[in-house]
Amino acid sequence: MPQQRPLWDGYCADPFVIRAQDGRFVMYGTSPERPGGRAFQTLVSDDLDVWCPAGGALVIPADAPAGTEWWAPEVAYAGGRYWMYYSQGMGDQGHQIRVASSVEPTGPFTEAGPPLTEDLPFAIDPSPFQDVDGTWWLFYATDLVEGARPGTVIAVQRLRTMTELAGEPRIILRASADWQLYARDRQLYGAQHDWHTLEGPAVVRHGDRYWLLYSGGNWQTPRYGVAAASAASVEGQWTEDAAIGPFITSQSTGLIGPGHCSIVSAVGGGHHLFLHAWDAQRQRRRPHRLTLQITGGPPRVAP
């Protein structure tokens, strides 16, 4: 299958798209570059097809140590402001979820308090979700060494306010299959593990069911992919058919290492699915759009 055309030719990984209050669509993504001296690439569009760069989103704190990285921004609108959730850390160590806010969808976003996950050793890929009753939840990925397949798992917590989590994290999904292997004999937490990874959660409600899309495996390789789980409520019990495995793969889409989705409801029904994939030289992760189809069974995608 030929590789599909990216929405933008620059580096924009972990693409998250929101329909702003002014009607425009705004995309936020992880980038090694710092447009305008800010973290996170932003792109804007009127039609979801043509995207134009709009600079960086997050004001980098003056006290951020050299080598700090900012990953996977997602944005929610509440109380007349835009709230950006993201992780900050160095490499694969010490990442914590933080929140920033702005009155404009393209920023500048400025930090709005201390890290939300200070009690966890590692937390990334926050994804805010508002339930039908108005309650906000935060899905994210964190590490769990215990069990048969140690690795990065998916958790959820309620947002008491847009800058504060309530209660304890609830682990809702952990590795269950070989395709989710990140690396063998990975040195972490004082030991070597066959490390598995679930990350990049994105949740949508369809009918009376909640669907969670997540990425699994090693993001640096073509075998990275996206699978789905479902539940009757946000807190679960979330279940998946392990025999099905990932439904978005390099083989099924023609994209190289597709993953880290976000979902936008389409006018008239249906859903747009945004994700990243490598270019042919595997130097840039660029954003792509697919059509997400949810009917009576598991989700499917079309170009």
For residue 1, what pLDDT is reported?
44
For residue 266, what pLDDT is reported?
87
Torsion of CA 205, 211, 212, 217, to 10 degrees: -150
Contact 285, 275 (CB under 8 A): no
| Secondary structure (DSSP) of 91-118 | TTEEEEEEEEEESSTT--BEE-SS-S-T
- Rounded to 5, what percent of the chain is helix, strand, coil? 5, 55, 40
Quick one: tokens of 240?
Answer: 């998946």
Contact 278, 285 (CB under 8 A): yes
Q: Is the pLDDT of residue 91 over 90?
A: no
Quick one: tokens of 63?
Answer: 């006290």
For residue 196, what pLDDT is reported?
98
How far is residue 29's CA from residue 266's CA, in Å, rounded to a whole number? 21
At 303, the pLDDT band (50, 70, 90 cuts) reads: low
The predicted-structure confidence for 23-57, as pLDDT tens digits, reads as follows 999 999 999 999 999 999 999 999 999 999 999 99
Widest CA span of the chain, in angstroms?
52
The predicted-structure confidence for 105-137, as pLDDT tens digits, reads as follows 999 999 999 999 999 999 999 999 999 999 999
The domains located in the chain, with CATH, are 13-302 (2.115.10.20)
Beta pairing partners, 153: 142
Tell me which residue of 110, 108, 115 sits closest to 61, measured CA to CA. 110
